[in-house]
Amino acid sequence: MKNKRLLFLLVFLSNTLLLSGCWSKKELTDLAIVAAIGIDKNEEGRYVGTLQIINPGNVAGGMQGGGGSQGPPVSVITGTGDSIVELSRRTSRKLSRRLYYAHTNLVVIGEDLAKEESISNILDPLERDAEFRSTAIIVIAQGTKASDIVKVLTAIDKIPANKIIKTLKFTERTWGENISVSMQDAIKTLVSPGKELVVSGFRMSGDVDKGKSMENTHQTEPSSLLYAGSLAIFKNGKLTDWIDGETARGSVFLLDKLNASAIGVKWEGKDEAISYELIRQKTKVMAKMEKGKPRVSIEVQAEGNIGESRVYTDLNNPDVLLKIENEIEKEIKKEILMAVKQAQNNKSDIFGFGEALHRTNPKEWKKMVSKWNDVYFPEVKTDIVVDAFIRRTGLRNNPHQVNK
């Protein structure tokens, strides 16, 4: 019996050696939780990092609509350095807490920096940091500095970084001219030889100085507002152009990332007379060699509902619906052609035509890969087939304005 107790004690003591204990514990009062980071370059060529840090005491009650403190939900700290790592460590001189990047969901890159330097140089140190989330969303500060975007306080969403991310994802699901690109998605595209990067931009309207004040969140019409901008086209990691409107939507069609949108078509001689609410789509891109030159086939299937009709239309007539579907197909094809032409003018294959050719003709691709963007991609011929289907016409078949 005594031996059994001794054996039990030895096993118990041995197991305690395997316990990790609290060696890696992190106290909230010791951490500066970074919600977003904005990166620019100054006139001296040094990186400027703008960190949006959460003030836990000012957020806790307000996140659920309760009381909370009247102070700002975030604080903004700026640091400089010859590298991203250096600016992060230099910033620690201004804080009494350790910078904590495990909850950083947003990376904002200034437009000038994105044009000057490959975005891969900026993402490299972030990807290497085990604490930094690879799912963080990347946006480009369009027409302004990244610091301006990060500094603006928002009314409905207390954490400005969350406002940007949620706005981007919501407009992606409803309008279709923007896409959410995570850091891991961006890196995957950057290392692919047959596809270039495309990232959403974010704009700021109003006065940035007023946007930094809590007064900006206490007005029915904020003095400074953040909103989704255009799509940024990259080539070799650098920003080359912006696309928006129908061209942007055509690009999202080709990327097979269009969740929903409202497409206006001409009917009875009136522009935008009928609104087609897209509810789902599927795009297939296939490439082949034809007479020694690459050729791309694009097949699009679209399904949606009639959301609005501003002219008299007999929506009970199947022949009329078929004609409307044909007009929708023409509009979608036009937007896709606009997107292809814009990308070819920029010599940037953001649609992955090169990847498609690599899959079907690896030997030919090997010969073209070094000159794909500059020589072959701008000359690629495309065959576009669109099949649009009207699922429903809404709760009424004809508009209120009828011919008498």
What's the pLDDT score for residue 187?
Answer: 96
Structure tokens given for 161: 């970084």
Q: Is there a contact between 88 and 99 (Cβ–Cβ < 8 Å)?
A: yes
State the average pLDDT over residues 13-25: 62
Q: What is the pLDDT of residues 21-61, one digit of tens each?
A: 565 566 778 899 999 999 999 999 999 999 999 998 887 65
Q: Is there a contact between 150 and 38 (Cβ–Cβ < 8 Å)?
A: yes
State the average pLDDT over residues 333-361: 97
Alpha-carbon distance of 88 to 48, in angstroms, equals 10
Instruction: Please report the DSSP string for 37-56 in residue order.
Output: EEEEE-TTS-EEEEEEEE-H
Of 164-168, 228-232, 313-317, 361-365, give the lowest mean pLDDT range: 313-317
| pLDDT of residue 213 exceeding 90 | no
| pLDDT of residue 401 exceeding 70 | no
H or E element, residue 232 = strand 224-235
Burial class (CB in 10 A: 0-12, 13-18, 19+), 180: middle
Query: How does the average pLDDT of the chain come out, rounded?
Result: 91
AA identity, residue 11: V
pTM of the entire predicted model:
0.89
Alpha-carbon distance of 349 to 343, in angstroms, equals 6
State the average pLDDT over residues 376-404: 84
Task: Name the percent of the chain lying above pLDDT 70.
Answer: 90
| pLDDT of residue 236 exceeding 70 | yes
Instruction: Of 363, 353, 378, 361, give the one whose Cα is nearest residue 193.
Output: 353
Alpha-carbon distance of 371 to 317, in angstroms, equals 52
Give the pLDDT band (50/70/90) at residue 66. Answer: very low
Identity of the highest mean pLDDT range in 20-24, 26-30, 72-76, 325-329: 325-329
| pLDDT of residue 227 exceeding 60 | yes
| pLDDT of residue 329 exceeding 90 | yes
Domain range 246-404, CATH class: alpha beta
Give the pLDDT band (50/70/90) at residue 18. Answer: low
What's the pLDDT score for residue 386?
Answer: 98
Q: Could you tell me where in the chain the CATH 3.30.300.210 domains are found?
A: 246-404
Of 241-255, 284-298, 305-319, give the lowest mean pLDDT range: 305-319
Q: Is there a contact between 155 and 73 (Cβ–Cβ < 8 Å)?
A: no
Q: Is there a contact between 188 and 138 (Cβ–Cβ < 8 Å)?
A: no
State the average pLDDT over residues 320-344: 98
Cα dihedral angle (344, 350, 356, 361), rounded to 10 degrees? 60
| pLDDT of residue 151 exceeding 70 | yes
Give the pLDDT band (50/70/90) at residue 67. Answer: very low
Of 69-73, 89-93, 130-134, give the lowest mean pLDDT range: 69-73
Give the helix ranges, DSSP H, for 153-276.
Answer: 160-174, 183-190, 208-211, 245-254
What's the pLDDT score for residue 21?
Answer: 58
State the average pLDDT over residues 277-298: 96
- Please give the DSSP secondary-structure letter assigned to residue 328: H
| Residue 164 dihedral angles phi and psi, to the nearest 5° | -65, -45
What's the pLDDT score for residue 110?
Answer: 98
| pLDDT of residue 404 exceeding 50 | no
